[in-house]
Amino acid sequence: MIVARARVVVLASGGGTTLQALIDASSTVEYPAAVVAVGSDRYGIGALDRASAADIPTFVAPPDEYPDRATWDAALAESTAVYRPDIVVLAGFMRLVGAAFLDRFPHRVINTHPALSPAFPGVHGPRDALAYGVKITGCTIFVVDEGVDTGPIVAQASVPVLDDDDEATLHERIKEREREILVQTVAELVTDTYRIEGRKVVRS
Ligand code: GAR
């Protein structure tokens, strides 16, 4: 029996090591999801190269090519919808998606953040954790809402902060765990059904 795998569209803005973990997982037949397209807000990034190397189609929607944020958001949603995703994964996508995007894929957009939410939202999670002096930080997978890293939490993993860490070493330690829990969480979300109740993601 051939069972269709869930279709995953990944949006990324950077080097794409998180994307690569999903691509690698998809290459095993047991994994219940496959990356069917990769989108970005910028050209010339590692994530797009990784997608091309794996023969995965790509699309790019830079905000400065659109008259305003709402038009960009709707265009990004349109380009993403072309690939009929069951789930959309923001993997190092450094932009906020808006209402048009989220309405198009209700409760099916997830993001990974390199901090233990609700601590240290935004684009400098590891730097902010170091500056605060926490001894434990980590990563958070959440269902995206219109806030900055505020959506209902699906999974978290903790990572120690070492005395001699700088931003790069800490972020790399976080990313190792992030890749693991993202791959596992995507598999679970496309296999189980889930609903959002308040701030909780309830699986059944
Ligand atoms: C990851 O740590 C991801 O959580 C972070 O960017 C990195 C992407 O790395 N995203 C954010 O900080 C979003 N707030 P990658 O380009 O190597 O996959």
Say what the pLDDT of residue 192 is.
87
Establish if 13 belongs to a structural domain.
Answer: yes
* pLDDT value of residue 69: 96
Closest approach atom of ligand 1 to CA 113: 4
Angle at alpha carbon of residue 167, lines to 162 and 171, rounded to 5°: 80
- CB 114 less than 6 A from any atom of ligand 1: yes
The reply to whether 156 falls in a domain is: yes
Q: Is residue 199 part of a domain?
A: no
The per-residue pLDDT for 204 is: 78
With respect to residue 147, please indicate whether it lies within any of the assigned structural domains.
yes
Q: What is the CATH number of the domain that holds 182?
A: 3.40.50.170
User: What six digits make up the tokens of 149?
Assistant: 């890293």
Residue nearest to atom 5 of ligand 1 (CA): 92
Per the structure, the complete domain to which residue 50 belongs is given by 6-191
The verdict on residue 196 lying in a domain is: no
Domain assignment present for residue 204? The answer is no
Establish if 55 belongs to a structural domain: yes
Low-confidence ranges of the chain (pLDDT < 50): 1
Q: What is the dihedral of CA 45, 46, 49, 51, to 10 degrees?
A: -110
Say if ligand 1 is within 6 A of residue 35 CB.
Answer: no
Provide DSSP, 138-201. EEEEEE--SSSS-SPEEEEEEEEPPTT--HHHHHHHHHHHHHHHHHHHHHHHHHS-EEEETTEE
Which one, of 117, 96, 114, lies nearest residue 18 by Cα? Answer: 114
Residue with tokens 């265009």: 75
pLDDT of residue 2: 55
Question: Mapping DSSP to helix (H, G, I), strand (E, B) and coil, where does residue 72 land?
Answer: helix
Inside any domain, residue 124 = yes
Model confidence pLDDT, tens digit, residues 124-136: 999 999 999 999 9
Distance in Å from the first CA to the final CA of the chain: 25
Give yes or no for residue 137 CB within 6 A of ligand 1.
no
Q: Whose CA is nearest to atom 7 of ligand 1?
A: 92
Kindly give the distance from the C-alpha atom of residue 78 to the centroid of ligand 1, in angstroms, as a whole number. 23
Residue numbers annotated as active site: 113
Residues paired with 34 in a beta bridge: 7
Ligand 1 geometric centre to CA of 4 (Å) = 29
Given a contact cutoff of 8 angstroms between Cβ atoms, the answer to whether 11 and 91 are in contact is: yes
Domain tally for the chain? 1
Radius of gyration of the chain (CA): 16
| Ligand 1 lined by 15 (C-beta under 6 Å) | yes
